[in-house]
Amino acid sequence: MTIRNILIAPDKKLKQRSTPVAAVDDDIRTLAADMLETMYAADGLGLAAIQVGVAKRIIVTDIHGKDEPPNPLHMINPEIIWNGEDRIIHEEGCLSLPDHYAEVERPNTVRFRFLDLEGEIREMEAEGIQAVCLQHEMDHLEGILFVDHISIIKRSMILRKLTKLRRSEGDAFGQPQAAKAASA
């Protein structure tokens, strides 16, 4: 497995719409494994393939408690097939917008259909933080960032700060935290 660089906003690739995966093969499984390793190295809860520069409809998540074993979820070509009526407001962050957070309102319960790593069709229902995380990652597949759900003033402030930080950190910016620590 390889830890990949995570794209940082306002990278234009993050606004790109991802394309469906034609077939689940070893290349897709390797990408999914790399994504999971990258997400863990960056201490994240979820990651979309576009965040590592691959415009494919793949997301990985792991929402497990502090004292629980890892419970990774790989979703290929995920789609929302049902939204519950109840809404939840949750503070979201993103590995592509480091150290920035905002409250976003989303459905509290969502049903998904997706392919697993064997290419089998699966369905699952998620609620609470898992539902929020999966919807956040699915937004990435459409070129939507969580800041697109907040006011334009707040969004502009965050993106300006990230642009300034990107210029000041140069080439080291965008590396996973593990790679930054190793280079320090």
Give the catalytic positions in this structure. Answer: 137
Q: Which residue has the tokens 């719409």?
A: 17
Return all residues near 26 (Cβ < 8 A) that are at least 6 apart.
none
Amino acid letter, residue 49: A
Q: Which residue has the tokens 């697109």?
A: 148
CA distance 110 to 108: 7
Amino acid letter, residue 135: Q
**Token digits for 56?**
């494919």
CA distance 40 to 159: 24
DSSP 8-state assignment for residue 16: S
**Token digits for 181?**
């620590």
